[in-house]
Amino acid sequence: MAAIKRSALGRGLDALITMEDLKTGGSSSISEISLSKIQPNPDQPRSMFEEEALEELATSIRSLGVIQPITLKEIGPDRYMIISGERRYRASLKAGLEEIPAYIKTAADEHVVEMALIENIQREDLNAIEIALAYQKLIDNYELTQEKLSERVGKKRTTIANYLRLLKLPAEIQVGLKDKKIDMGHARALISVQDPEIQLALYEQILQDGLSVRQVEELVRNAAEAAVPEAKDEQPKKKLLPEEYNLLKDHLSRFFNTRVNLSCNEKGKGKITIPFASEDELEKLIMLLDKLKR
């Protein structure tokens, strides 16, 4: 089986052979179940199924069949609900199959959601927000602490905590993470910013300038340093850059033909950051700097 998984039969095959599927204790045998008798689990944590990936999986199924059975729970006479394997179920429909191999799992109703959530998390093919929502649902439904949840799903407690913190971000940023406009590193950098308006402003800047995770972390650090008041000050004071600094920043932005970030504290210390989106842009910046030496 492992040899088949490593062969060059296409990415869709990985979803056919899933060794991390739920243990099937209590299931006596594999049955061929009509697809018309199966319904998805409404508490399925994955909300997005990429059409291209499903087509690839359907192609593999037409060629090889469904190698790893899905897992079902009987919910009525000749009616079943998916516990795990919804991608294989959807791809089998696309492939024109009438039946699919399945384990019939004996599980109490209150355990079906937990089993589906944990199975999907263990497969690690959810996006970051779906994983965070799945963790939160497990905590809420089963009154688990993060420590207990880490034992249940086999993840470090700090990993679970980092995912749950994503749910505190503004909705627009959560959607951007879900749609892969930004990645987990960007989101984690934004979490450390307390003001939602600043978070959204930084998010827009990431999209506009194609900022790397390291650049965002630097911007967040600069913003934090600028917001720290002097020790002798009784009340924190939020000050804008003096007008001359804004003029200088605009001048540099026009000269380099790109956005220039400038931060400065009350003591006059600061940084000038010139972002670039590619090696070509970096070379152009270097050429401009070389001209200044002449």
Note down pLDDT in tens along the chain; length 294 residues.
Answer: 333 333 323 333 333 333 334 444 444 468 899 999 999 887 666 667 788 888 999 999 998 899 889 988 888 888 998 888 888 999 999 999 999 999 887 655 556 666 666 766 665 567 888 888 888 888 887 788 899 888 887 789 999 999 999 999 999 999 999 888 999 999 999 998 988 998 999 999 999 999 999 999 998 888 777 665 544 444 554 454 556 667 777 777 777 778 778 777 766 677 888 887 777 777 777 777 766 655
Q: Is residue 131 a contact partner of residue 121, using CB atoms and an 8 Å limit?
A: yes
pLDDT of residue 5: 34
Residue 232 domain-assigned (yes or no): no
Q: What is the pLDDT of residue 133?
A: 86
Please, are residues 235 and 229 in contact by the beta-carbon 8 Å criterion? yes
Residue with tokens 């600061």: 270
- Decide if 40 is inside a domain: yes
**Angle formed at CA 204 by CA 199 and CA 206, multiple of 5 degrees:** 95
Please tell me the distance from the alpha carbon of residue 47 to that of residue 215, in angstroms, as a whole number: 31
Q: What angle do CA 88, 89, 91 make, to 5 degrees?
A: 65
Q: Quick check: is 7 in a domain?
A: no
Q: Give the pLDDT score at 188.
A: 92
- Residues 207 and 256 reside in one and the same domain: no
Catalytic residue among 86, 114, 119, 218: 86
Tokens standing for 146? 């993060």
Structure pTM?
Answer: 0.51
The span from the CA of 128 to the CA of 182, in Å, is: 11
Q: Are 82 and 76 in contact (CB under 8 A)?
A: no
- Domain shared by 197 and 123, yes or no: yes
- For residue 191, the Cα-to-chain-centroid distance in whole angstroms is 14
Cross-strand bridge partners of residue 272: 262
Please say whether the beta carbons of 150 and 156 come within 8 A: yes
Domain span at residue 256? 243-292
How many separate domains does the chain show?
A: 3
Residue 86 falls in the annotated catalytic set:
yes
pLDDT above 90 as % of the chain: 28
CATH code, domain carrying 89: 3.90.1530.30
Round to whole Å and give the CA distance between 172 and 203.
9
Report yes or no on 131 lying in a domain: yes
Distances (CA, A) of 114 to 41, 108, 152: 12, 11, 10
Domain termination site, one of 87, 105, 123: 105
Q: Supply the pLDDT for residue 235.
A: 53
One-letter amino acid for residue 253 of the chain:
S
| Last residue within a domain, chosen from 72, 105, 138 | 105
Neighbours of 99 (CB within 10 A): 15
Phi, psi of 262 (to 5 degrees): -130, 125
The CATH number of residue 202's host domain is 1.10.10.2830
Residue of 87, 97, 79 whose CA lies nearest to 38: 79
Which of 105, 122, 139 terminates a domain? The answer is 105
Residue 88 lies in a domain: yes
